[in-house]
Structure 1
Amino acid sequence: MAAEIRAFIDHHFRHFNAATLKDAAQGYETFLNAGGRMMLTLAGAMSTAELGLSLAEMIRAGKVHAITCTGANLEEDLFNLVAHDRYVRVPGYRYLSKQQEVELLERGLNRVTDTCIPEDYAIRKIQHLIETHWRDAKQEGKPKLPHQFCYELIRSGRLKEHYQIPLEHSWLVAACERSLPLFVPGWEDSTLGSIFTSLCIRGEMSPAAMRGGIDYLLELANWYREGSARHPMGFFQIGGGIAGDFAICVVPMIRQDLEEHVPEWKYFCQISDSTTSYGSYSGAVPNEKITWGKIAGDCPQYVIESDATIVAPLIFAYLLGR
C-alpha cells in the first residue's frame, strides 16, 4: 500500500501544497540517507486523531529518532490504547448546540473536535494504573520524567488486559519498544498533569516525584550535543506551540547561552493549517528562525499549509513506500 501511495504522490502531486508535500518527503528521505537523525514534534490532538496508525511504523522503521510532544499527545495515545472501543465520534461536531455539548459532558464524554474521549473508560482507567507508579516514585525517592512513567506502565504488563487496538497502531508503544528519547515540555498542561497536581494539593503526592521542564531541556541538550557530533539533525514539526518551540530552541541555548558550538538543524519541515504570518506563534515562517540561530541559512525548509491528519500520513507512507 505504501508503495502505491508513493507512486500516486510522485505522479499527481506537482504544484502548490501538494508539490511542497512531495518535496518535503523527498528531502526527508535524502536527509536520512545522508545519515541524518530526525526530531519529530507533535502538537494539536494528533494522538486522538490516531496518527499512531502511521507514526508507529515510522518509529519502528527507524525513521524517527526522537519526539517532542505535548502532555496531551503523550497521554491520549495511552487513552486510545485502552478505551478505543468506547470513543464516540461526532461527525457533525461543527453544528452542535451548547445544550448538546452539555449533554456530552453529562455523559462523561470529553470532545476533541470530532471525537469524544470517555472520562471513566480512558482517563480514570489510566489514572488508577499510573498512579501506582507515581506513588512508588514518591516512596522510593526516585523521581522520573512523565514519559518514563508511561514507559514503565507499558513495560509492567498491567495494560495488556485493557488493550483495544493492535499494538502496532500505538506510537507510544513503538517508542517504548525502542526506548525512543521523548521530551514533554509543559506536561502540567494535560489531564494527567492536573490529576497529579490535585494529588499534591491533597497531600497524597509530592511535586518532587515528577521531574519537569528544565530536566527535559537538560536531556534534550545532551541528546542534541551527542547526536550532532555524529549526524546531521533534522526537525519535522507537526503544528506549532510548545512542542515545536521548546525543541527547536535547544540550538540557540547551546550556542548562545552555553557558548558551545553545535551545528544548527539541517532539515526543517512544518505542517500547519495556521495562517502563516510573521509573529504568528504557530505559523511563523522558517526564515524567521534563521535570525534566532535555530536553523542554518542553507537548511532545506518546507512549510505545508494543510491539515496534519491528511499530510503527515501521506509523507510517512511515501517514506515507507520504497
Structure 2
Amino acid sequence: LSGMEFSNEYSISPRWNSTRTLIYSYARYFDERGNELDVLPTNYVLERALVNGPVYALLNECPDALRKALPQIQPMTLLPFVRKGISDVYEKPFEVKLFPEGTIRGTGGLRIVGDQCQTTIPGLFAAGDTATRELITGATSGGGSPNSAWALTSGMLSGAGAAELARSRGRRLDSRPRPQGTVGLRPRSNVKPVDRRSLLEAAQNEILPLDKNVFRSGPKLENSLAVLDSAWRELRDHDYATGTDAVTARETASVVATARLCYTAALTRDESRGMHQREDAPEQKADQARRLLIGGLDEVWTRPEAHEQWRPTHV
C-alpha cells in the first residue's frame, strides 16, 4: 500500500447525520458560548474547538443561488433537517460534528504500479477508494470531484486491464482458487471465544477521536498501536467463524489491520505534510518528499518509494 498516513480526513455535517459538505463552504462557526471561530481550511481551529466542546454552524451567508439549486444538485443535504422538523436551515445555528471518513475521503490505499491500475499482486487491479489517490491529489483529500473522476477513470482502466489479462490467460477449468484468508477463518493458535465487539470498539477509540488522529504525535501513535497490536493478536490467534458470522469476523479484522497500517505509516513519517500533521514534528522535511510504502499483517513494514519507480505515462 501507499499513503496510509494520509487517511485521517473528517467531513463536517449536522451532528445527527452523515456528510454532505457543499453548503458548509459558506458556514460560520460558533462555540457553545456564542464566540465566532476563525475557521480556515488549514488552521484546525474547528477540530480543536470540537475536542473541547460543542460547535454550531450558521448558514445565513449561503448564496441565494445555491439555496435555490441545492434541492436539485444535492437533495440529501436538506433531508436531515426536514426529518428533524427544522425549516429555517439558513437562519438558526445547529450543532455540527466532524465525521471520520478514513481511506474514503482520505488518500491512502493499494499502491498503483502500472498504467492499467495494476498492483504489486499479479492479477489484482485497484480502482476508486481502494487505490491510493496520491497520484492525483498528493497528501491532501480528493474530496468529491477529484475522487469521483478518479473512480470513473480508474474503474475503466482497471476493468480493461483485468479483461485483457483474463483473455490472454484463457479459460482455466482444471484449477480452483485456493483460500488464503487467515484471521477469523484459520486461527494461528487454539480457538476460543473472542469478543469482537469490544475489540472493534477498542480500535475505534484509537482511530476515530480527533485528539488522536488529527493532532498526532509520536507518543500518541505508539500508545494507540500498542492497543491495536494487542487486538490484532487476539483476533489472529483465537478467532474462528463460519457462515455469515465470518463476515463480522473479517470486518473486525479489516478495521484493526487498516488502523495499524494508518498509524504505523503516521509514526514513520516524522514530519507534517498535507492532512498528516504531527504536533511533535510540525515542519515539512525535504528528504521525506516521497511516497511511503507499507505492508504486512503480523509485522508491518514501511519503506520510502525509490525515485526510479513507475510513474504514469498518461496525463
TM-score, reference length from structure 2: 0.23
The answer to which structure, 1 or 2, has the higher relative contact order (CA under 8 A, 6+ apart) is 1
Q: Which structure has the bigger radius of gyration?
A: 2
More helix per residue: 1
